[in-house]
Amino acid sequence: MENVINRQLFLTEERRKTFKKWPFNDKNKCNARNMAEAGFYSVATGEDDADAAKCFLCGKELDGWEASDDPWEEHKSHAAKCAFVQLGKKEDDLLLSEYLSVVKQYMINEIKQMAEESKNKLDEKSKFIRRRCLSKK
């Protein structure tokens, strides 16, 4: 499954490592560490989208970042229902019960995504079979 999120991205440090060519440095509010702490990892594929980032939990993808942007505030304004945003804490500050709630939400999201992908594949297969049956008439 191509869209299933890497479980290592639960960890801030693993998310931070994805920001290899992030356009902002540590002097900027929108630096790689703050992005990772706010739940984002880089999904940049080239120079045109060097600032593309996605939440490891809710899947919200954002680009067009500016050096002064606050990653937590941007995440909150674009994905207020994200379970990670609602906790509003860095990974190291989460209680065990809060961390487990994030894991639970991740698993729910992953299962929904897998179900959606399976449904789409089944729909395509059904359309193919239907066309084949209709062409034989």
pLDDT digits (tens, 9 = 90+) for 97-119: 998 998 888 888 889 989 999 99
Within 10 angstroms of residue 54's Cβ, the number of other Cβ atoms is: 20
SS3 42: strand
pLDDT of 65 strictly over 70:
yes
Q: What is the pTM of this model?
A: 0.76
Task: Write down all domains in the chain, each with its CATH number in brackets.
Answer: 7-135 (1.10.1170.10)
pLDDT digits (tens, 9 = 90+) for 71-94: 999 999 999 999 999 998 888 898
Give the count of beta carbons closer than 10 Å to the beta carbon of residue 52: 17
Residue bearing the bigger pLDDT, 32 or 9: 32
The radius of gyration computed from the CA coordinates of the chain, to the nearest angstrom, equals 19
Residue 3's pLDDT is what? 40
